């Protein structure tokens, strides 16, 4: 008998005016000791499936049709009290963000003990012994001591281990993991996935993994279900679904996944994904405002030259200088970026890559070293006019498309602001025209200017950010994780757009990402950062084929293997 048996599930959220159907017609089966992946993009309803199984659908959601069985027992219509007793005892759940899923005011021990004692007839001492065993089992060293600590004393990866221990407290038959590694660095992700897989096999637990990440699916699942807009579009063995997808949506989804092992010219354009807006009106860049006065003087040598750049933040203040403590975010970093190339910076969180972007744009003032842009030393620039001129030449695209646009301004005003500020257009009507053309050019359509940012999806907002960055006619673009908050198909579109723009406008780019596969698609040369130091700089292909530094090799080795994925539609360069 299968552990989990979902039959023709339909979940709906009744609203005041209409009922929103989040999931419809989903049928899944999961055996003990096996891993079933549910993959899809945001809004596909994959988390709703998980929540329906564990009985935690958000109000006013409800299971409208279908049945859910756990070991043959129907669970979707249990009374609330029995549902609660089933949670934790028979079904464990692992959440996405380990930083927020533990109560910050309780020790790890008390959270474990209370969960164990809720479900098992243990006294305090026995529960504590079991808690220590669990913490040991999830691979946290020195469990007897660490258990007394509070969540904030653990790193992100360690916290996720604690979360896993909590989910396994009462030996559940089924574990639901909702994006278990999305918030983690690639090296931690690999460890956590391995741990989950190991525990699953050892304890003969069935696991339902919900994720948007094809890498995770390829890595640990036995079966996979692909969801699109609340419906199951494809379901089968992981090998088969990823290697030879049948449904067009699965095919397009898989083709949009950036591969670390092949460099492709453009991501295949796929239907099935969100339309960007009105079809792009073609603009001839060479005669348009965007293309004009781009005749910047050719820089002598590199466009951007960074030498011994250093940045430290005070972590412990004191009147006495020798007692101050610093965190060195960037340590003696040097590299050059040639005109017209895309330079990639890759590293895990805390490696200092975003700090470099902020130093270059002048958001931080460096503690030491020099930044030479087009032959001009930026660190010693005092004159306001010169600073403005430099700022105009470099623009930045930020990671989070939701917080980087002013929610109270119309899109056209957001884009017009830099043009007006730098006085780049002679009249208001010209500004309007330029804004309309820019919106057309990034694929949103001029009509988008009337709207407010909240009316757009994440990918569309990132297009607005790009239009805003282009509005000063920059020659240097800094992209700080521009697609890491986006779904994979939208990511493909945005990366295509950035590539096109670079070609048309001859932009130089600094491209920052934690994702080696994305970096490979975008960059000519790559710098690998770790703990504020630049480990290795080399050409893109060389870095992937013959990595020099140990850390680079380690990073490459940790990437989830995407060999399973179908290669149809991809054209290698």
Partner 1 sequence: MFGFAIRRLLQAMIVMLVVALLAFTLFRFVGDPVNQMVGIETSIEEREALRERLGLNDPIPVQFFRFVTDAARFDFGTSYQFRQPVSDLFAKRIPATLELSFMSALFALVVGIPMGIYAGLNREAALSKLFLSVSLVGISLPTFFIGILLIFLFSVTLQWLPSFGRGEVVEVGSWWTTGFLTISGLKALVLPSITLGLYQMTLIMRLIRAEMLEVIRTDYIKFARARGLPDRIVNFRHALKNTMVPVITITGLQLGSIIAFATITETVFQWPGMGLMFLQAVQNVDIPIMAAYLLLTAFLFVAINFIVDILYFVIDPRLRIGRA
Q: Where are the alpha helices (DSSP H) in 147-289?
A: 156-167, 186-203, 214-220, 238-243, 248-255
Burial class (CB in 10 A: 0-12, 13-18, 19+), 57: buried
* Count of other CB atoms within 10 angstroms of residue 2: 16
At its nearest, how many Å lie between partner 1 and the CB of residue 86? Answer: 7
The alpha carbon dihedral of 73, 76, 81, 83 has a sign of: positive
Stretch that binds partner 1, among 3-11, 110-118, 241-249, 550-558 (CB under 8 A): 110-118
At its nearest, how many Å lie between partner 1 and the CB of residue 414? Answer: 29
> Which of 239-262 are b and which e, b meaning 16 or more Cβ less than 10 Å from the residue's Cβ?
eebbeebebebbbbbbbbbbbbeb
State which residue, 124 or 542, has the beta carbon closest to partner 1: 124
* Interacting residue with partner 1 among 61, 92, 143, 366 (CB under 8 A): 92
* Interacting residue with partner 1 among 6, 36, 75, 163 (CB under 8 A): 163
At its nearest, how many Å lie between partner 1 and the CB of residue 500? Answer: 39
Q: Does 22 bind partner 1 (CB under 8 A)?
A: no
State which residue, 110 or 187, has the beta carbon closest to partner 1: 110
At its nearest, how many Å lie between partner 1 and the CB of residue 229? Answer: 25
By three-state DSSP, how is residue 293 classified? Answer: coil
358: nearest Cα among 392, 398, 385: 398
Q: Does 184 bind partner 1 (CB under 8 A)?
A: no
Q: Does 457 bind partner 1 (CB under 8 A)?
A: no
* Interacting residue with partner 1 among 8, 65, 103, 194 (CB under 8 A): 103
State which residue, 110 or 524, has the beta carbon closest to partner 1: 110
* Interacting residue with partner 1 among 152, 281, 325, 553 (CB under 8 A): 152
Q: Does 114 bind partner 1 (CB under 8 A)?
A: yes
At its nearest, how many Å lie between partner 1 and the CB of residue 239? Answer: 31
Stretch that binds partner 1, among 100-108, 484-492, 519-527, 564-572 (CB under 8 A): 100-108
* Interacting residue with partner 1 among 97, 126, 336, 500 (CB under 8 A): 97
* Count of other CB atoms within 10 angstroms of residue 423: 7
d(CA 100, CA 86): 23
* Interacting residue with partner 1 among 2, 118, 370, 404 (CB under 8 A): 118
- Say if residues 483 and 518 touch (Cβ distance below 8 Å): yes
* Interacting residue with partner 1 among 102, 381, 516, 564 (CB under 8 A): 102
Q: Does 89 bind partner 1 (CB under 8 A)?
A: yes
Cα radius of gyration rounded to whole Å, the chain: 26
Laid out side by side, the sheet with 342-346 consists of 394-397, 476-480, 508-513, 342-346, 525-530, 533-539
* Count of other CB atoms within 10 angstroms of residue 101: 17
373: nearest Cα among 316, 424, 307, 417: 307
The alpha carbon dihedral of 163, 165, 169, 173 has a sign of: positive
Site string for partner 1, 411-450 (x = CB under 8 A): ----------------------------------------
At its nearest, how many Å lie between partner 1 and the CB of residue 83? Answer: 9
d(CA 235, CA 228): 12
* Count of other CB atoms within 10 angstroms of residue 509: 23
Stretch that binds partner 1, among 64-72, 95-103, 359-367, 506-514 (CB under 8 A): 95-103
Give the pair of three-digit tokens for residue 541: 């292909």
Residues touching partner 1, count (CB under 8 A): 33
State which residue, 179 or 480, has the beta carbon closest to partner 1: 179
State which residue, 85 or 542, has the beta carbon closest to partner 1: 85
d(CA 572, CA 266): 9
* Interacting residue with partner 1 among 54, 242, 253, 309 (CB under 8 A): 54
Q: Does 147 bind partner 1 (CB under 8 A)?
A: no
271: nearest Cα among 246, 244, 252, 245: 252
Q: Does 183 bind partner 1 (CB under 8 A)?
A: no
* Interacting residue with partner 1 among 33, 67, 101, 506 (CB under 8 A): 101
Q: Does 100 bind partner 1 (CB under 8 A)?
A: yes
Q: Does 119 bind partner 1 (CB under 8 A)?
A: yes
> Distance of CA 461 to CAs 290, 397, 440, 448, 464, Å?
20, 11, 14, 11, 5
Laid out side by side, the sheet with 325-337 consists of 325-337, 304-316, 368-373, 376-377
User: For the residues of 452-490, what is the DSSP string, one character each?
Assistant: -GGGS-HHHHHHHHHHHHHTT--SEEEEESTTTTS-HHH
* Interacting residue with partner 1 among 19, 20, 85, 386 (CB under 8 A): 85
At its nearest, how many Å lie between partner 1 and the CB of residue 82? Answer: 10
Q: Does 386 bind partner 1 (CB under 8 A)?
A: no
d(CA 215, CA 217): 5
- Say if residues 562 and 259 touch (Cβ distance below 8 Å): yes
d(CA 136, CA 460): 46
Q: Does 154 bind partner 1 (CB under 8 A)?
A: no
State which residue, 54 or 193, has the beta carbon closest to partner 1: 54
> Distance of CA 49 to CAs 39, 177, 469, 550, Å?
11, 12, 39, 42
State which residue, 10 or 84, has the beta carbon closest to partner 1: 84
At its nearest, how many Å lie between partner 1 and the CB of residue 4? Answer: 16
135: nearest Cα among 116, 118, 152: 116
* Interacting residue with partner 1 among 115, 211, 252, 305 (CB under 8 A): 115
Stretch that binds partner 1, among 27-35, 160-168, 275-283, 354-362 (CB under 8 A): 160-168
Applying CB under 8 A, the residues found at the interface with partner 1 are 54, 56, 84-89, 92-93, 95-97, 100-107, 114-115, 118-119, 150, 152-153, 163, 166-167, 169-170
């Amino acid at each position: 008998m299968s552990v989990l048996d979902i039959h023709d599930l339909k979940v709906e959220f009744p609203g005041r005016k209409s009922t929103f159907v989040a999931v419809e017609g989903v049928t899944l089966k999961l055996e003990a000791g096996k891993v079933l992946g549910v993959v899809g993009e945001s809004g596909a309803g994959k988390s709703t499936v998980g929540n329906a199984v564990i009985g935690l659908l958000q109000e006013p959601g409800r299971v409208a049709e279908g049945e859910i069985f756990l070991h043959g027992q129907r669970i979707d219509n249990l009374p609330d009290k029995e549902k609660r007793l089933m949670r934790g005892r028979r079904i464990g759940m692992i959440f996405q963000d380990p930083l927020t899923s533990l109560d910050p005011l309780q020790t790890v021990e008390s959270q474990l003990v209370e969960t164990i004692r809720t479900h098992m007839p243990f006294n305090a001492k026995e529960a504590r012994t079991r808690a220590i065993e669990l913490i040991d089992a999830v691979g946290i060293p020195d469990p007897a001591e660490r258990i007394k600590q509070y969540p904030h004393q653990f790193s992100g990866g360690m916290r996720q281990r604690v979360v896993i221990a909590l989910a396994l407290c009462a030996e559940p038959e089924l574990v639901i993991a909702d994006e278990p590694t999305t918030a983690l660095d690639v090296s931690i992700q690999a460890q956590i996935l391995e741990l989950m897989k190991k525990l699953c096999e050892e304890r003969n637990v069935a696991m339902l993994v919900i994720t948007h990440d094809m890498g995770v699916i390829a890595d640990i699942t036995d079966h996979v279900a692909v969801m699109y807009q609340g419906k199951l579009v494809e379901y089968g063995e992981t090998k088969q679904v990823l290697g030879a997808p049948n449904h067009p949506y699965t095919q397009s989804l898989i083709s949009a996944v950036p591969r670390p092992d092949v460099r492709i010219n453009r991501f295949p354009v796929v239907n099935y994904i969100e339309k960007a807006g009105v079809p792009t009106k073609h603009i001839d860049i060479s005669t348009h405002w965007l293309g004009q006065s781009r005749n910047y003087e050719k820089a002598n040598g590199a466009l951007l030259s960074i030498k011994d750049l250093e940045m430290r933040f005070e972590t412990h203040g004191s009147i006495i200088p020798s007692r101050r403590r610093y965190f060195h975010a960037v340590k003696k970093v040097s590299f050059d970026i040639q005109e017209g190339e895309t330079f990639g910076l890759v590293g895990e969180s805390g490696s200092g890559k975003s700090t470099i972007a902020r130093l270059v744009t002048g958001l931080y003032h460096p503690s030491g070293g020099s930044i030479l842009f087009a032959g001009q030393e930026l660190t010693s620039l005092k004159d306001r006019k010169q600073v403005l001129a430099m700022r105009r030449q470099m623009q930045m695209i930020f990671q989070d498309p939701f917080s980087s646009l002013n929610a109270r301004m119309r899109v056209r005003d957001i884009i017009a602001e830099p043009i007006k500020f730098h006085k780049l257009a002679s009249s208001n009507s010209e500004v309007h025209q330029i804004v309309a053309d820019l919106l057309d050019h990034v694929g949103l359509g001029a009509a988008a200017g009337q709207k407010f940012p909240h009316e757009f999806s994440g990918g569309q907002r990132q297009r607005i950010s790009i239009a805003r960055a282009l509005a000063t006619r920059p020659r240097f673009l800094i992209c700080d994780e521009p697609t890491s908050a986006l779904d994979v198909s939208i990511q493909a579109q945005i990366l295509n757009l950035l590539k096109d723009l670079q070609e048309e406008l001859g932009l130089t780019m600094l491209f920052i990402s934690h994702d080696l596969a994305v970096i490979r698609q975008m960059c000519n040369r790559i710098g690998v950062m770790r703990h504020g130091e630049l480990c290795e700089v080399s050409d893109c292909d060389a870095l992937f084929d013959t990595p020099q530094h140990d850390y680079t090799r380690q990073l490459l080795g940790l990437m989830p293997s995407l060999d399973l994925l179908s290669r149809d539609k991809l054209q290698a360069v």
